Chain A
Amino acid sequence: MSSADAKNTKQIIAARAEKEVMPGQVINVGIGIPTLILKYLDPAKQVFVHSENGIVGMGSHCSRTDADRNLIDAGGGYVGMEVGGSFCDSVLSFTLVRGGRLDVAFLGALEVSRTGDLANWIIPGKYSPGIGGGMELAQKARRLVITTSHTNRKGDPKILDQCTLPLTAKACVNRIITELAVMDIEDGNLVLKELAEGVSINDVVSKTAAPLIFIESEVGRF
């Protein structure tokens, strides 16, 4: 995959993921593709974006002129504030998360299983940047949407029958959005809901290493 394709993949996923957000919701977007969702977020929805570092009502990334040295998102990017936004300390920030006040969290993934297990924080011996807020977001958001490329850099499926990597949380994923498809975890099964433009069911099945359930006539397009 060229870098231009990779960029396009991310934008397709972020644009589709924005449609998951309902007016007035409190949401959190993780580092990576999830952060791009804010670029597509319809201001009319009046959403409160939570950031782990103590922001409720965070705006999108801002320009050099507007950058404030005391105002960043959890990935370090300079951001603005929305009307009605507020600041809190890290204790209250995670009280919001663990207390169940987060309507939707969007996270990336290394692996997702058919039953909604998520692995996204460690590849033992190779990659272990730490957990950050991911475990708490995955376990406690009312709804967890995974935004990820359908396959990894080697082209191997990220959606598996069972995760092989250490878990972030078990049975936590509600929906997976990739550049190819939208899939839901329903009663421990992976259900195909939508296909991206120009993508066939076979394309998705061939790149998914778990049984995919679908009723062909009910599969939508995005």
Chain B
Amino acid sequence: MEKQLTAAEAVTAVKDHYRIMVGGFGIPGTPMILVDALLKQNTRHLTLIKNEANIAGMGVSKLVENGQVDNLVTSHLGLNSAVLGMMNRKEINVEFNPQGILVERIRCGGAGLLGFITDIGIDTILRENKQVIKINDRTGILETALRADVALVHAAIGDRFGNLVYEKSARNFNPAMATAAKIVIAEVEKLVEPGELDPDTIHTPGAFVDHVVVINELTDEYGILEDYVIG
């Protein structure tokens, strides 16, 4: 099956009011080219599920700052003063999740499960408005599964069948998100012919991926952030 599209073609799958997942933890693994295409398309009233919101003026932060996102389901915004400011001014709804709970909710969604029970946050305000369940002598919170209409992920290498290989710390949320949406779009830095990837090294089987977008040239956003060179 031919899955290759341009970024602009691929993101037409995202419509107003959709729930979208975007992979990445900081720059690594964030599909900047697909996000830029979505910015250009100006799709609005989105619910965005992402670990963080990148930093101000970069990646998904541009979607939020452009008013395209109504709801953000995330884990941490400590490095993004722009989005934190919008949250404080109530220009955007933010739902914070413990990071591992966020990805586990996505994993559950991808695995066709309705949710799971955890003791994380049981003694905190996160317990409020959630169902509390007793299992034998232990008490847990019911965490519901997350799914999206469209997931945007980034991989280092892919083939035309949608098989994906991630690199280093750019793997993060991408494999889970690639299982948890109706339509999964992967941007890849390098496209190889089917058969070139060793089946043992493939992280996401192509069966999960609907569209592959080849990045012709990495934009500056994929580069090193000088402010974060600390050593």
Let me know if B229 and A67 touch, CB within 8 A. yes
**Chain A residue at smallest Cβ distance from B74:** A130
Task: Decide: A91 near B229, CB < 8 A? Known: A129-B76, A133-B98, A170-B123.
Answer: no
- Total interface residues on B, CB under 8 Å, equals 56
Check B231–A60 contact: CB distance below 8 A: yes
B175 pairs with A139, CB closer than 8 A: no
Contact B229 A139, beta carbon cutoff 8 Å: no
B51 lies within 8 A of A70 (CB) = no
What are 17 A-B contacts with C-beta separation under 8 Å? Answer: A31-B78, A52-B99, A55-B169, A61-B230, A63-B229, A67-B224, A72-B26, A72-B28, A76-B26, A90-B172, A90-B176, A129-B77, A130-B75, A132-B76, A136-B120, A167-B123, A170-B124
Give the interface centre of A60, A91, A167 by most chain B CB atoms within 10 Å. Answer: A91
Interface positions of A (Cβ within 8 A of B): 31, 51-55, 60-64, 66-72, 74-79, 87-91, 93-95, 97-98, 128-136, 139-140, 166-170
CA separation between A131 and B96, bound complex, in Å?
Answer: 7
By a beta-carbon cutoff of 8 Å, the part of chain B in contact with chain A is 25-29, 51-52, 55, 74-79, 84, 87, 94, 96-101, 103-104, 107, 118-121, 123-126, 156, 166-176, 203, 222-226, 228-231
Contact between A91 and B175, CB atoms less than 8 A apart: yes
Question: Residue on A with the closest CB to B123?
Answer: A170
- Known A63-B231, A97-B100, A168-B124; judge A87-B169 contact (CB<8 A): yes
Query: Of B25, B96, B97, B107, which is within 8 A of A53 by CB?
Result: B25
**Residues of chain B within 8 A of A139, CB atoms compared:** 119-120
Q: How near does chain B come to A21, taking the closest CB pair, in angstroms? A: 20
Residue of A nearest to B125 (CB): A166
| Nearest CB in chain A: distance from B71 CB, A | 15
Determine the chain A residues whose CB is within 8 A of the CB of B101 once the complex forms: 94, 136
Cβ-defined contact, B25 with A167, below 8 A? no
- Residues in B with CB closer than 8 Å to A62 are 229, 231
Q: Is the beta-carbon distance between B229 and A78 smaller than 8 angstroms?
A: yes
Set A70, A78, A89: member contacting B176, Cβ < 8 A: A89
A90 and B231 within 8 A (CB): no
B121 neighbours in A (Cβ, 8 Å)? 135
Taking a contact as CB atoms closer than 8 A, the residue among A77, A88, A91, A134 that contacts B228 in the complex is: A77
Q: Do B231 and A54 touch (CB < 8 A)?
A: no
Tell me which of B76, B100, B203 contacts A94 (CB under 8 A).
B100
Please determine whether A69 and B123 come into contact, CB atoms closer than 8 angstroms.
no
* Residue of B84, B167, B171, B222 most packed against chain A (CB within 10 A): B171
**B228 and A76 form a contact (CB under 8 A):** yes
- For residue B103, which residue of chain A has the nearest CB? A90
Nearest Cβ on chain A to B190's Cβ, whole angstroms: 13
Chain A residues in 8 Å Cβ range of B77: 129-130
Write the chain B residue with the least CB distance to A129.
B78
Contact of A90 among B74, B99, B156, B222 (CB under 8 A): B99
